[in-house]
Copies of this chain bind each other. A is one copy, B any other.
Amino acid sequence: MTEVAETKRDRIARRQVDKFEARRTELAVATLHTLADLGYARTSLREIAQNSEFSHGVLHYYFADKRDLITQAVRQYEAVCVTRYDEVVANANTADQLRRGFVDMFFATLASDAPLHRLWYDLRNQSLFEESFRTDVLEIDERREAMIWRVVSRYAELSGGEPATSPTAAYVMLDGVFQRALLCLLSGMDEEIAKLKNELPCVLDLVVAGA
């Protein structure tokens, strides 16, 4: 076999692999939507297939089993959701701008991506019971922590203060606020959300001392 033939075969193989991967992510996205709609407990393969343009049998062609599929969906979530505040950080020239931009983005994504967020918390929680998701969940949580830390450290920089906590503490505290806001949103407690929106800047200022 010549070199040309080899590269050709490689190209074909690569194209097939790419196609395979493309379909995998396509199905992973459908899985993500189903999970966001129904939650982990009530997400079945047939339901996922109905949220895609294929029949349920195809899932076992592209994924070893349900766990594999959901793991892939979790990774798909990661691709979407760990750079949410980066633009805000990049565009802010003053501490005030950054704080305002952060709070606005915080509540904007809360409102517009609520199902996706509840899905994340659902899967993170599931990892407390099922070891199989844990590695991916921990990695995503790390990246979310880093995302928040980029905000906090930049805010400290702009405001001439210093972060008062570790990156982890800053993340989990703000994430706690987000979880509560999500619960309030889905429960229709609008006044509570307004309160949280008022207080979030204060929390940010707590995390960055002397701001």
Contact = CB atoms under 8 A, between A and B. Distances in A.
Interface of A: 38-42, 118, 121-122, 124-130, 134, 137-138, 141, 164-166, 168-169, 172-177, 179-180, 182-183, 186-187, 192, 195-196, 199, 202-203, 206-207
A125 B122 contact: yes
A23 B183 CA distance: 32
B180 A126 contact: no
8 tightest A-B CB contacts, nearest first: A176-B176, A39-B129, A172-B176, A41-B41, A173-B173, A118-B128, A172-B180, A125-B125
Contacts of A174: 176
A129 B125 contact: no
A184 B27 CA distance: 31
